[in-house]
Structure 1
Amino acid sequence: MTLISDSIALADFCARHAQVEFITVDTEFMREKTFWPQLCLVQVAGPEEAVAIDPLAPDMDLAPLFALMANPKVLKVFHAARQDVEIFLHLANAIPHPLFDTQVAAMVCGFGDSVGYETLATQLARARIDKTMRFTDWSARPLTDRQLDYALSDVTHLRVVYEKLKRKLDKNGRISWLEEEMAVLTDPATYQTHPESAWRRLKPRSTSPRFLNVLRELAAWREREAQERDLPRQRVLRDEALMEIAAHAPNNAADLSRTRGMSRAFAEGRQGTAVLEAVMRGVARPDSECPTVEQRVDLPKGMAPVVDLLKVLLKMKCDEHGVAQRLVASASDLELIAADDKAEVPALQGWRRQLFGEDALKLKHGRVALGLSEDGRRLRLVPMNEAAPA
Structure 2
Amino acid sequence: MSDTDIAVIKEQGELNAFCDALSQSDVIFVDTEFHRESTYWPTLCLIQAAGDGVEGIIDPMVDGLDLAPFLKLMGDESIGKVFHAARQDMEIFYRLMGTPPSPIFDTQIAAMALGLGDSISYENLVSGLAGQQIDKSSQFTDWTRRPLSQKQLKYALGDVTHLRTVYDRMAEKLDAKNRWSWIEEENQALAAPSLYDTDPENAWNRMKIRRPKKDYLAVLKNVAIWRERLAQDLNRPRSRILKDDAIQEISDQRPRTAEALERLRSVPKGFAKSRHGAGLLDTINYALDNVDEVAPQVEKPKHRSASPAGASDLLRVLLKQVCDDENVTPRLVANAADLERIASGDGDSTAVMSGWRYDLFGRQAEDLLHGRLAITFNQGKVELFDTSQASKA
Alignment TM-score, normalising by the size of structure 2:
0.86
Structure 1 position 7 matched with structure 2 position 12:
yes
The residue correspondences of 1:43-54 to structure 2 (distance < 5 A) are 43-54=48-59
What CA distance in whole angstroms lies between the structure 1 residues aligned with 2:301 and 2:78? 45
Distance 1:283 1:323, change over 3 A: farther
Structure 1 position 300 matched with structure 2 position 306:
yes
What CA distance in whole angstroms lies between the structure 2 residues aligned with 1:155 and 1:61? 22
Give, as a single letter, the amino acid of the residue that structure 1 aligns with 2:19. Answer: C
Contiguous gaps of at least 5 residues in structure 2: 1-5
Q: 2:85 aligns with which of 80, 83, 94?
A: 80
Q: Is the 8 A contact 2:272 2:278 kept in 1?
A: no
Worse-superposed segment, 166-175 or 29-38:
29-38
Distance 1:138 1:299, change over 3 A: farther
SS in 1 for 2:32: strand
Distance 1:189 1:349, change over 3 A: farther
Distance 1:273 1:102, change over 3 A: closer
SS in 2 for 1:42: strand
Q: CA deviation at 1:132?
A: 2.7
Q: 1:281 aligns with which of 275, 283, 287?
A: 287
The residue correspondences of 1:239-318 to structure 2 (distance < 5 A) are 239=244, 241-243=246-248, 245-251=250-256, 260-262=269-271, 264-266=273-275, 272-273=278-279, 275-286=281-292, 289=295, 300=306, 303-318=308-323
The residue correspondences of 1:375-390 to structure 2 (distance < 5 A) are 379-384=383-388
What CA distance in whole angstroms lies between the structure 2 residues aligned with 1:316 and 1:297? 30
Give, as a single letter, the amino acid of the residue that structure 2 aligns with 1:384. Answer: S
**Percent of counterpart pairs with the same letter?**
43
Structure 1 position 135 matched with structure 2 position 140:
yes
What CA distance in whole angstroms lies between the structure 2 residues aligned with 1:383 and 1:254? 66
Map Cα deviations across residues 74-102 of structure 1 (whole Å, 9 max, x no partner).
21110111111111011111222221111
**2:203 match:** 198
**1:70 match:** 75
Map Cα deviations across residues 329-365 of structure 1 (whole Å, 9 max, x no partner).
1122111110024442222232111111111011111
Give, as a single letter, the amino acid of the residue that structure 2 aligns with 1:382. Answer: D
Distance 1:214 1:357, change over 3 A: same
Map Cα deviations across residues 16-69 of structure 1 (whole Å, 9 max, x no partner).
111212111111111122212211111111232321111101211100110111
Q: Is the 8 A contact 2:226 2:283 kept in 1?
A: no
Q: 2:335 aligns with which of 326, 330, 333?
A: 330
What CA distance in whole angstroms lies between the structure 1 residues aligned with 2:327 and 2:289? 53
Distance 1:254 1:310, change over 3 A: closer
**1:95 match:** 100
What CA distance in whole angstroms lies between the structure 2 residues aligned with 1:283 and 1:113? 47
**2:178 match:** 173
**2:229 match:** 224
Worse-superposed segment, 113-122 or 69-78:
69-78
Q: CA deviation at 1:190?
A: 3.0
Q: CA deviation at 1:261?
A: 2.5
Distance 1:273 1:82, change over 3 A: closer
SS in 2 for 1:266: coil
Q: CA deviation at 1:138?
A: 1.2
Distance 1:273 1:75, change over 3 A: closer
Provide the alpha-carbon RMSD of the alignment: 3.1
The residue correspondences of 1:341-356 to structure 2 (distance < 5 A) are 341-356=346-361
What CA distance in whole angstroms lies between the structure 2 residues aligned with 1:93 and 1:354? 37
What CA distance in whole angstroms lies between the structure 1 residues aligned with 2:42 and 2:300? 29
Q: CA deviation at 1:201?
A: 4.9
Q: Is the 8 A contact 1:310 1:360 kept in 2?
A: yes
Q: Is the 8 A contact 2:82 2:104 kept in 1?
A: yes
**2:124 match:** 119
SS in 1 for 2:49: strand
What CA distance in whole angstroms lies between the structure 2 residues aligned with 1:227 and 1:334? 38
**1:319 match:** 324
Alignment TM-score, normalising by the size of structure 1:
0.87
Worse-superposed segment, 84-93 or 339-348:
339-348
Distance 1:369 1:193, change over 3 A: farther
SS in 2 for 1:225: helix
What CA distance in whole angstroms lies between the structure 1 residues aligned with 2:220 and 2:384? 50
Q: CA deviation at 1:229?
A: 3.9
Give, as a single letter, the amino acid of the residue that structure 2 aligns with 1:266. Answer: R
Structure 1 position 147 matched with structure 2 position 164:
no
What CA distance in whole angstroms lies between the structure 1 residues aligned with 2:315 and 2:303? 16
Distance 1:256 1:316, change over 3 A: closer
What CA distance in whole angstroms lies between the structure 2 residues aligned with 1:49 and 1:5? 17
Q: CA deviation at 1:318?
A: 0.7
SS in 1 for 2:270: coil
What CA distance in whole angstroms lies between the structure 1 residues aligned with 2:254 and 2:313? 44
SS in 1 for 2:349: coil
Q: 2:28 aligns with which of 23, 27, 32?
A: 23
Q: Is the 8 A contact 1:213 1:283 kept in 2?
A: no
What CA distance in whole angstroms lies between the structure 1 residues aligned with 2:62 and 2:296? 48
Distance 1:353 1:283, change over 3 A: farther
SS in 2 for 1:304: coil
Give, as a single letter, the amino acid of the residue that structure 1 aligns with 2:388. Answer: M
Q: Is the 8 A contact 2:255 2:261 kept in 1?
A: yes
Contiguous gaps of at least 5 residues in structure 1: none
Q: CA deviation at 1:120?
A: 0.9
